[in-house]
Chains A and B, each alone.
Chain A
Amino acid sequence: MKKIAVLVEHRQGEIREITFEMLGKAHQLAGSDDEVQALFLGDTSQKELVAKVSPHAHTTLAVYDAALKDFEPLRYGSALEAVLSNADCDLLLMGQTAFGMDLAPALAAKMTMPFTSDVVDIEILDGGVKATRQMYSGKVSAAVSLKEAPKRLLTVRAGAFPAEDVPEVSGEVREIAWSVDGDFAVRKFLSYIEAAVGDVDITQADVLVSVGRGIKDADNIPVAQELADALGGVVSCSRPVADKKWLPKERQVGTSGKTVKPRVYIALGISGAFQHQAGMKGAATIIAVNKDPKAPIFSIAHFGIVDDLFKVLPALTEKVRELKG
Chain B
Amino acid sequence: MDIIVCIKRVPETAEADIVLDAGKKGIDTDGMVFSINEWDNYAVEAAIQLKEAQGGKITVVSAGPEENNEVLRRALAMGADDAIRLTDPAFEGSDAIAMARILAAAIKDIPHDLILTGVQADDDGFGGTGVALAEMLGLPYAALVTDIQLDGDTLTVHRELEGGLEEVTAVKMPALLTIQTGINEPRYVSIMGIRKVAKKEIAEKSAGDLSLSGDDIGVKGSLSQIEGLFFPPVGEGAEIIEGTMDEKAETLVKILKERGGIA
A binding-site residues for B, Cβ under 8 Å: 11, 72-74, 96-99, 101-110, 112-118, 130, 133-147, 149, 155, 185-196, 206-207, 213, 231-233, 239-240, 242-245, 249-250, 252, 255-259, 263-264, 266, 271, 284-288, 291-294, 296, 298-307, 311-312, 315-316, 318-320, 323-324
Contact = CB atoms under 8 A, between A and B. Distances in A.
Given A245-B185, A305-B248, A287 B255 contact: yes
Contact of B263 (A188, A233, A242, A293): A233
Contact of B168 (A130, A191, A266): A191
Given A146-B224, A187-B171, A195 B164 contact: yes
Given A264-B261, A303-B252, A192 B238 contact: no
Contacts of B127: 96, 101, 117-118
A115 to B, nearest CB: 6
A37 B61 CA distance: 41
**Interface size class, chain B:** 35 or more
Interface in B162-176: 162-172, 175
B227 to A, nearest CB: 4
B128 A101 contact: yes
A256 B232 contact: no
B252 A105 contact: no
B53 to A, nearest CB: 22
Contact of A118 (B125, B245, B246): B125
B203 interface: no
A305 B165 contact: no
A96 B119 CA distance: 12
9 contacts: A109-B97, A109-B100, A116-B126, A136-B122, A191-B167, A191-B168, A271-B14, A287-B255, A292-B14
Contacts of A257: 163-164
A310 to B, nearest CB: 11
Interface stretch (B105-113, B133-141, B192-200, B204-212): B133-141
Given A134-B125, A239-B182, A294-B18, A189 B227 contact: no
A236 to B, nearest CB: 13
Contacts of B175: 186
Contact of A135 (B124, B132, B170, B171): B124
Report which residue of B18, B96, B225, B252 has the largest number of chain A beta carbons within 10 angstroms of its beta carbon.
Answer: B252
Contact of B257 (A113, A138, A323): A323
Contacts of A190: 156, 167-170
Given A140-B18, A304-B239, A117 B140 contact: no
Contacts of A240: 181
A207 B261 contact: yes
Given A106-B135, A140-B232, A306-B240, A192 B169 contact: no
Contacts of A102: 131, 142-144, 159
Given A98-B161, A315-B246, A231 B261 contact: yes
Interface in B207-253: 223-232, 234-235, 237-241, 245-246, 248-250, 252-253
A155 B230 CA distance: 20
B92 interface: no
A130 B199 CA distance: 47
Contacts of B164: 194-196, 249-250, 252, 256-258
A143 B226 contact: yes
B162 A143 contact: no
A10 to B, nearest CB: 12
B158 interface: yes
Contacts of B232: 134, 138-141, 296, 299
Interface string B113-130: 000000100111111111
Contacts of B241: 303-305
Contacts of B228: 142-143
B30 interface: no
Given A187-B171, A188-B169, A243-B181, A299 B229 contact: no
B245 A104 contact: no
